[in-house]
Amino acid sequence: MATTNNEININSYTRNILMSGILILLSIFGTWTLLRADVIDAKYAAIWLLSITAGFILQRSRFCFASGFRDLFMFGSGTGLKAIIVGLSVSTIGFAAIMYWLTPNPTLPMIPPEAHIFPVGLSTIAGGLLFGFGMVVAGGCVSGNLYRLGEGYITSIGALLGVMIGMGLLILSWNWWYDNTISNEPVIWLPSLLNIGYFGSIFITLLLFIFVFFGINWWESKNGIPTMSNSNNSILATTFREKISHYYKVIFVDGWTSIVGGALLGGLAIVMFTVKKPFGVTGGIFDWVNAAITNMGFGPQVLKGLDQLGGCIGGTNDTIFTTAFAMTVGTVVGSLIASSASGEFKLRFPPTPIRYIQGFVGGVFMGYGAGLAIGCTIGAFFSAIPSLSLSGWVFAIALSFGAYAGTKVVERLI
């Protein structure tokens, strides 16, 4: 008897549900086992599950900082950047509320603990330029390569190896950077700047978001990029089975818009900050590289000032189970769950060998830049601007110039 397309789809959904369900149960069981063994605390477990959720959101919405900047410069499309602005707007309001609770009086000589408020200066500019260039050349930022690894992209392995090499080079030169630049760079937190407080800082930040949003739309109109409607003619679900199938399809199969991804990621960042610290995905990689270099005995035994800076690379190497580890690995697991549920996971090899080289070289630039700026597009940008740190804006501007240069290189390679 012939098999209908509907039966094929249902069988495919069932297989995908089973695969994603097994992965989810393994993640939860692993966290529960570690908690019972007193290896990690409840905050780690929460961050681990939230990071899995972040990876799920990134994969379903294809939310990627590299494509956001690249598409604006290469194709004139600002869809990705507008999604980033939405996410920043959401997290800015939430971060401000958390920081107000932690530090009600911003005029005092203290900043909210764990907030991504970093020194701003030459190191920020250099880090942003290098990272922006690298992420476009590599075809994805660090978070983008992590979630694509969860989809089966082999090129992401090369890019992440490049990130490790870049971070290793930064670690070897960190103390020079700290002695000559970072230690002399000011930490500028907007609420304490000229006593404008939280309200003034939020007002200025949101006003800048609006200004950038209108600028992106002007750029799109100049390049003839239309705003697409999200409406579609879906088949009505009437039976119980059709309704459940519809909900599953909307969540796990159909691609989410980048705007939805940005808003959800911004909200998730608020929850992470409430639990422990803002979102960042380079910390785990930095800790692994730093531990390897230290154990091999050819790097600095002490990285000056790092314990005071915090952020994405201010973790500890005392144990593998850190929040930085949870954020980095959890993102890959979340993407694997999402790609398995949608049936999108498969090993994907690049069409030409040059993509391996391109990904690796771009990764080296990203790794060095992320280490120097104390975070990547997530930690030094997506979490720093909502933390009302001037460093986030400086990093974003430098990142834009670096990404523009990266697009010129990529255009020559195409």
Contact (CB, 8 A) for 52 and 337:
yes
Contact (CB, 8 A) for 45 and 35:
yes
d(CA 35, CA 32): 5
In this structure, the number of other CB atoms found within 10 A of the CB of residue 351 comes to: 7
User: Which residues neighbour 140 within 8 Å (Cβ) at sequence distance 6 or greater?
Assistant: 64, 66, 67, 148, 156, 159
Torsion on CA atoms 318, 372, 326, 65, rounded to nearest 10: 180
Q: Which two tokens stand for residue 22?
A: 């097994």
**Could you report how far apart the first and last alpha carbons of the chain are, in Å?**
49
**DSSP for 257-323, written as a single string:** PHHHHHHHHHHHHHHHHHHTS---SSHHHHHHHHHHHHHHT-S-SS-TTHHHH-GGG---SS-S--H
d(CA 4, CA 19): 23
Q: What is the pLDDT along the chain (414 residues), one digit of tens a residue?
A: 444 444 435 455 566 666 666 666 666 666 656 555 555 667 888 888 899 999 999 999 999 999 999 999 999 999 999 999 999 999 999 999 999 999 999 988 888 988 999 999 999 999 999 999 999 999 999 999 999 999 999 999 999 999 999 999 999 999 999 999 999 999 999 999 888 999 999 999 999 999 999 999 999 998 888 866 554 545 666 777 777 777 778 888 888 999 999 999 999 999 999 998 899 899 889 989 998 998 888 878 788 888 777 666 654 455 667 888 889 999 999 999 898 888 888 899 988 888 999 999 999 999 999 999 998 899 999 999 999 999 999 999 999 999 999 999 999 886
| 250-300 confidence digits (pLDDT tens) | 888 888 999 999 999 999 999 999 998 899 899 889 989 998 998 888 878
Collapse the DSSP code of 153 into the 3-class scheme (helix H, G, I; strand E, B; otherwise coil) and give the result: strand
Q: Which amino acid is at 58?
A: L
